[in-house]
Amino acid sequence: MTTANDARLPLSGIKVIEFSHMVMGPTCGLILADLGAEVIKIEPPCGDKTRRMSGVGMGFFRTYNRNKKSVVLDIKSDAGREALHALLEDADVMIENFRPGLMERLGFGYASLSARYPELIYVSHKGFLPGPYDNRLALDEVVQMMGGLAYMTGPEGRPLRAGASVNDIMGGMFGAIGVLAALMERSHTRRGQEVQSALFENCVFLSASHMQQAAMSGEVPPPMPSRVSPWTVYDVFTLARGEQLFIGAVSDKQWVQLCEVLGRQDLRDDPALATNEQRLPVRRDLLDALGETLAQLEIEDVSRRLDQAGLPYAPITRPDELLDDPHLRASGGLVPLANDEGGTTQTVLLPLLMGGKRPQVRMPLASIGEHTQEVLGKLGLATDRSL
């Protein structure tokens, strides 16, 4: 049911049917839901399998499925297919991220649905956009390896995937961007369209500046751990008690400030180190010298002094530590979410402000099929197990 607060959200009145699991499709649905759309997540009778994942996938469902309604349908049954068509009669958007060809075989591909529902916007999330690779099975790790990202992230000879599902999340973001553009176009044409987003193309977009670097320089870009830094100080240092801190000094003025913060007037006053161009040839020696000083200092004291000087710095933070991050808490970026097990968890809101406010959690995380009776009952459909 739309509340007064929902009515003020930009996508209020937009109805989305989400057929997705894992990360990419659910991220697209999450963005639309947080912006006010009614997102109806279709789950099989056993529920979305990401509800029961372990390890690094344990947090997927809770992270990417808030503000959605859960309806259980078995679309391999006649009753399930009938119910889905009833839902699509007044739907604006349908999201799917299953393997290539599956929705077509089930009779719910874009070609068949667009003929029946010409205003429907159909969002397809895949591994690859149409081309020679489009039938290959892709995972975030697969495309990071073939899209340049793993090469650029790891040391030479040791490709390394990023520590988050960056392409899955980015794929959902581009899917949502496509939906917003298609909704705008439909307001003029009264016709929907298919929006496609893909993991591989996302990853190539992330690597695009390195591609241009290669085209412009005629040289192979070195992986980030092996890159030649344009600045003398742009590194991670180990302080007292083994704690680590990234510190950057990207101008001659910042170099002077850093030397003063660390009490290294000897380095500040050396005329042979006055400019970045002079310092770069002896960068390694300077980093070692600064490292010896920093190894004797406490991270809290150094951080305070760097902050006062306006220098760029950052502690090396684990994800669990972010649950107590003072900025996230004070700025409203972490809020309670009632989970599907009857407890409460902290959830991260979308990283944007609209009218000075973050899009909020509006409803608890749905249990499997929690809204089946509510949603299908309004359509006059039975809600027994045959659905």
Q: What is the mean pLDDT of the chain?
A: 94
Q: What confidence tens digit (pLDDT) does each residue in 52-93 have? A: 999 999 999 999 999 999 999 999 999 999 999 999 999 999
Alpha carbon distance 284, 28 (integer Å): 45
Mean pLDDT of the region 221-233: 90
Q: What confidence tens digit (pLDDT) does each residue in 4-52 have? A: 456 589 999 999 999 999 999 999 999 999 999 999 999 999 999 999 9
- Number of Cα atoms under 13 Å in the Cβ half of residue 344: 6
Alpha carbon distance 57, 50 (integer Å): 7
Confidence of residue 291 (pLDDT cuts 50, 70, 90): very high
CATH 3.30.1540.10 location in the chain: 229-318
Q: What is the DSSP letter of 52?
A: G
pLDDT at 7: 59
- Number of Cα atoms under 13 Å in the Cβ half of residue 387: 21
- CB–CB of 128/200 below 8 Å? yes
Q: What confidence tens digit (pLDDT) does each residue in 105-146 have? A: 999 999 999 999 999 999 999 999 999 998 888 999 999 999
| Domain covering 229-318: architecture | 2-Layer Sandwich (3.30)
**Three-state secondary structure call for residue 255:** helix
Alpha carbon distance 208, 194 (integer Å): 25
- CB–CB of 348/335 below 8 Å? no
Q: Which fold has domain 4-207+326-377?
A: Rossmann fold (3.40.50)
Mean pLDDT of the region 228-235: 90
Pairing mode, strands 244-249 and 68-72: unpaired
Mean pLDDT of the region 341-354: 94
pLDDT at 2: 44
Nearest to 287 by CA among 311, 262, 305: 262
Handedness of CA 108, 111, 112, 113 (dihedral sign): positive
CATH 3.40.50.10540 location in the chain: 4-207+326-377
pLDDT of 180 higher than 60: yes
Q: Which residue has the tokens 């996508």?
A: 11
- Does the predicted model carry a pTM greater than 0.75? yes
Mean pLDDT of the region 253-275: 97
